[in-house]
Structure formats: C-alpha cells, structure tokens
Amino acid sequence: MKKFDVLVVGSGAGLEVASFAAEQALSVAIVEEGSLGGTCLNRGCIPSKMLIHSADVAETIKESAKFGIKSKIESIDFASIVKRVSEVVDTDSSGIEQAVRKSGNPVLYKVRSKFIGHKQMKVGDPSTGSGQVEQIEADKVFIVGGTRPATPPIPGLENTPYLDSTRALRLVSQPEHLVVIGGGYIAAELAHFFGSLGTKVTILVRGNVMLSNEDEEIAAWFTKEFSKKHNILFNAETEAVSHQNGKFIIKLKSEEGKLEADQLLVATGRAPNTDILNVKATGVDIDDKGYIKVNEYLETNVDGIWAFGDIVGILPFRHTANDQVGFAIRNAFTDKKVPFDYFAIGHAVFSSPQVGGVGKTAQELKREGISYKVGKAELKDTGMGGALQENGLAKVLVSEQNNILGVHIIGPNASILIHEAIVAMKANGKVEAITNSVYIHPALPEWLQRAFFDIG
C-alpha cells in the first residue's frame, strides 16, 4: 500500500489544501474522478452564469421598446453559445490538470475511487476500465468530494435520456419545449436560460411557490414574476416518465393528466457523494441524508480526517468552501485551531428576477421564536427604479437591539446589492452601518438603504 502524508479527495476547493501541503514538502495525493476544478468550474456556477448572461442579453433586447428603442433578435445560435462556454471551462480545467501533473507532487489519481478502511482508499476500478488499481493511505485526509444531481424515485425516469443540471449545461441543441421538474434555484436559473432564448418552458413544482428556501415574501414575489414568463404548475407530482419517438411523456398525479416535451430537466436537489466514495469505511459519521458530520473546526469524528465544502451540507456554495479552505489548513497543520463561522454567508439566484439573501429568513425567525423588526423598500419608489423601469423588493430583518438578522432582495442586480448587507453584518452587524452611510443618489444601492430607514 502506497503511503502519503496527505490525501485530498476532490479537486475543487480541495486543490488549495493539496497545494499548501506540497509547498510544505509533504507527499500529497489527489483523488478526482472527473475534470479538475470541481463542480463550480465544470458543472455549476461558472458555466451556468456564462450561459445565463446570454439569456440576460436576450431579455434586455426583448424589453428595449419600453426605453423607446425598437429592436429584435434576428436569430439564436444556441450551439455556439454552449460551445463557447464549454471551451472556456474545458481549457481552464485542462490547465489545472496539466499543472498538477507537471509538478509531480501532488500525485493525481484521476479515477473513480473509494475508501476501503481507515484513511485508506482503493484508487481505480477494473469495471470502469480505469486501468491500474492501487491502494493508498495517508496520515491526514481531507474529504472534499462534493455532491451530484439527485435522482428522484419517479417510475420510468432512469430509462429515459432526461437532463440533469450537468447535462443541461452541455446541451447543444435548443429544445422547443422543456419541462422542468423542480422549483429551486437550479430550476429557476436554467428555466431562465432556456426560456429567454426562446424555448417554451413548463415548470412542475411540488409546492405552491418557487424558491421555497428563500424568505417567504421574496419567494412569493419571485413566483408571481416568474409565472408571467413561464408556465408553472403548482402542487404537481410526477407519477411516471417515459420516452417515445423523441418525446418525453410526463404523467402527472393531477387533473392536467400528462405533458409532452422534447426535453425534460430534472432539478430536484443534490446528493452527497459519500456513498460513491464509501465514506462509511473510514468510520466517519454521516447524517441521515448522507452528509459528513463535522465540528466547528471542520474535523470529523475520526482523528486526522477533515471535511468541508458541499459534502458537509451546510451552506453548500463554492464561496463557502473557498472560505473553509484556510480554516481547514490552519486547523490541520498548525497548533492553533480556529472555528469556522457560517455567519453572514450570502447567496444569490441568477434568474430573472435575481434574488440575493443573507442571514435568517422571516419564517426561520418565527420558528426559532426570535422577535424581530422589518424594513422594506420597493425599487419603483427610487430614482433608479424609474430609470430602469423595473421593480423589486428589499427586505431587512433586525433584532430589537438593531442587529441585522437577515437581508433579502429580489430585483435587478440583487446578487451585487446583497454584498452591502454581507459587509455590514460582518463588520459590526448594526443597522447604523447602513443608515449612517451617505449613498450616492440616485444609484441603485440607495434602494437597500431605504429598506433600512423603513425599519419600524
């Protein structure tokens, strides 16, 4: 069995741990089945946002008449849009791999692998044709293996060529009619991408709102606006799926009966890769959903094994993992451990309209019995709202002591504006951080400031 000082499972944020360890003259192994760079670069935030920008441009052109500018889209070269994005992603990923291989340390095992014991892995699997099979072990192990699209137990689904988010980002032929199963952020973003470029989109949502994890008022606002652009069926449960003569037949447990479409996208969440990696063989504890349990120092219950990123299931965003890297390195390689703080880590939904959020939602505060005050402002009541001819809502939740508990925004550039709140919450967490500042008039950020001034 080959021995290393450090084993890193996953080549997203985990690459920084591997690089640090190699710089300390430690022997390092990286295990990665797929393209290097992790989910964000290859199958997530980078390609999706590049594609979505094309949709945003198309939407701007379609709406130009309200500014007195008559324009039209001559054609959509869907294949070239996807090709451009894929080439950028593949070039970046290939560059990472070449750099790793050239260095010689870390040693890259680019094969499907699994744990076979305490800090031990079998790298390579004859059944996948990956060639050489070895067994490796390490003193320190970092499990940063991420997640994958979840497959719901819908009869017939696995026997069809349906799209998940990974395959949807590489689709080179634009569908005429796309049915989307799911109502979360992935469904919202990809429906916006396809729909804005001319695909008819039908969305099947199990509940009565989209983006149900957002603040309830923001979710309701988004649902209302998105329903103006796409056909959304609420409280819709899929009974079975089949594929015949190039068409998907989606049978529903409702009065709608069935739908037909030339493409089906399933966007019903993510599943941790702990089962594929056979993490249980290490003795590491996982929860009932398969996510790895860690303490505040990103340590598992097994000494010498750390985990972070999506595979721990807490605020599963690339920026969370990027922040966790430094803590994991310090806690594993120095004598002074520092707890990781999830406070004020924000998120955004790059759909139309955009959504940005940080901190607690109103429904979370209610469940936890925390009293709070609310401030709100609509974009239409600001100078920039009139210029943009758009509306949106900024909502602020604060404690009785004027500590910022949560901020939620829906509307143009919400993904940018939410950083005002993130910085304020990280700086001192007080309302005065916003209200005592002098904002440029009539710049868009004063919309958020008005919500703070509205706190009752």
> In whole angstroms, what is the distance from residue 403 CA to residue 400 CA?
7
> In whole angstroms, what is the distance from residue 447 CA to residue 218 CA?
16
* Count of other CB atoms within 10 angstroms of residue 258: 14
User: Residue 272: which of 235, 314, 231 has the closest Cα?
Assistant: 314
Catalytic entry in 243, 408, 419, 441: 441
Q: Is 230 a catalytic residue?
A: no
The DSSP line for 356-374 is: EEEE--HHHHHHTT---EE
Task: Give the rounded distance of the alpha carbon of 40 from its chain centre.
Answer: 8
Task: Give the rounded distance of the alpha carbon of 387 from its chain centre.
Answer: 31
Number of helices (H) and strands (E) in the chain: give both, helices first.
14, 21
User: Residue 229: which of 258, 205, 268, 199 has the closest Cα?
Assistant: 199
> In whole angstroms, what is the distance from residue 440 CA to residue 456 CA?
24
> In whole angstroms, what is the distance from residue 330 CA to residue 43 CA?
29
> In whole angstroms, what is the distance from residue 259 CA to residue 251 CA?
7
Say whether 178 sits in a helix, a strand or coil. Answer: strand
Q: Where are the alpha helices (DSSP H) in 65-178?
A: 78-103, 165-168
User: Residue 183: which of 223, 228, 239, 221 has the closest Cα?
Assistant: 223
Extract the tokens encoding 11.
């080549």
The DSSP line for 179-196 is: EEE--SHHHHHHHHHHHH
> In whole angstroms, what is the distance from residue 50 CA to residue 386 CA?
28
DSSP 3-state helix, strand, coil percentages of the chain (rounded to 5)? 35, 25, 40
Q: Residues with catalytic annotation?
A: 441
